[in-house]
Amino acid sequence: MKPFTRVLSAFVVGILLQGGVYLYLDQYMFAPTTEFNVEGASKDDTSNFPDVKEGRKYVSYDHQFMAVVTNHSLRIYKAGESTPKTVDLGDRSISYFSWLPDRNYAIMGLYTDNEVVMARLNADDPDHEVDTELEDLPRGSSIVDAAYSEATNVVYMKVKVREGAYRIYRTDANYDTRRVYMQATDIGRIAVFYDEDKFFYDNARTGDIFVFDGIEGGWRVINPPGRFRLLGVDMNKTIYIARVDEDNNALVVYTGKLGVGFNPVYKYNHPVTLSEVTMSDVKDIITKGSDETTKITEDTEDPATNSGASESSRSN
C-alpha cells in the first residue's frame, strides 16, 4: 500500500471511530427514555424501598431507584430489593446529587481538597461512573447545583469557591468542559431550557436576572425594573421569577417568556423567605390558589413595577 493511501485510510478510520463515540454518547448514554419531565419524581416517594434512616434520599424519575447520600457515601437501591449497591467514592466527598428528570442517570458533585469532579452515574451500572474534572479552581471548591438541558445534553454547574462567591462551568455530551464567565459571582438559582442552550441565573446582590446563550455567548438582563430573583423555568419555556425586598423575601411572583416580558400572577400576603419558595409550590398556587396569597388581576396589579414589562435592553 502506498504511503498516501495508508495515511488516508488511517484518517478515515479515525473519523469513523470518533463519529461512533459521539453517536453512542448522543443516542445511548444521554438519550431520553421517555417524554421530558422537568420536575421528576418526589424525593419523598420511598414506599417501594427499605426504610433507611441515615442519609438524604433521592428517588429517580420513574421510581425505580433510590439513592441514599451522606457526605462520604452513596448507596443505590432498586425498587423491591433490600440490598443496595454501594458506590466506591474513594477519598472523595459528595457536595451535590440529582437524578436526571427523564432517565435513570444521576449527576454528582464530588470533591477533595484539591479536586472537583462532576460525575455521571448509570443506576443500572453504578460501578462505572464517568468523571469530568473541573480545572483551575481554588482549594476547597465544590459543586453545589447543576442545571441540565435534556435535549441538548448540556450541563451547567454552579461551583462554590468561597462563601457567597460562585463560578459557572459548562459541559456537553462530548465532555467539552469550560468555565463560563458571568456578570456576577454571588449567583443564586440557576436553570436552563430543556431543548435550548439558554442558561438562566440571578445576581443575588443586585436583584438582576440574566439569560446566557451557550452557543453564541451573549447575555442580557430579562427582569422588569425592580429587584428580582429567579425561581425556575418549565417545559413550556415559561420563566418564573419573584420580586423581592432588600432581605430577599419574596413579595410577588411573575411569569414570562423570552422576548415577550413578564406579568405578575400573585402576591404573598406576607413576605416569604425566598429559600422556602419552590417551583412546585408556585405552580400549585397558580393552579389552585392559596389563603396565603392574593391573585393579581388588572385591578390588583403589582404597584411596584410596570405590569407586562418587557425585558431589559442591557446586554453584552
User: 3-class DSSP state for residue 147?
Assistant: strand
* Helix-then-strand count for the chain, H and E: 2, 21
Contact 256, 211 (CB under 8 A): no
Q: Considering the chain, what is the average pLDDT of its residues?
A: 85
Q: Per-residue confidence at 299, pLDDT binned at 50, 70, 90? A: low
Give the burial class of 96: count Cβ atoms within 10 A of its Cβ; 0-12 exposed, 13-18 middle, 19 or more buried. buried
**Interstrand relation of 85-87 and 73-78 (parallel, antiparallel or unpaired):** antiparallel
- Which letter does DSSP use for residue 25 in this model? I
C-alpha cell at 78: 432498586
**pLDDT for position 305:** 57
Cell 422556602, located at residue? 276
pLDDT in tens, 84-128: 999 999 999 999 999 988 889 999 999 999 999 999 999 988 888
C-alpha cell at 17: 471511530
Q: CA distances (Å), 69 to each of 43, 94, 307, in order? A: 12, 8, 43
pLDDT in tens, 207-239: 999 999 999 999 999 999 999 999 999 999 999
φ/ψ (deg, to 5) at 19: -65, -35
> Among candidates 274, 200, 282, 189, which has minimal Cα distance to 237?
200
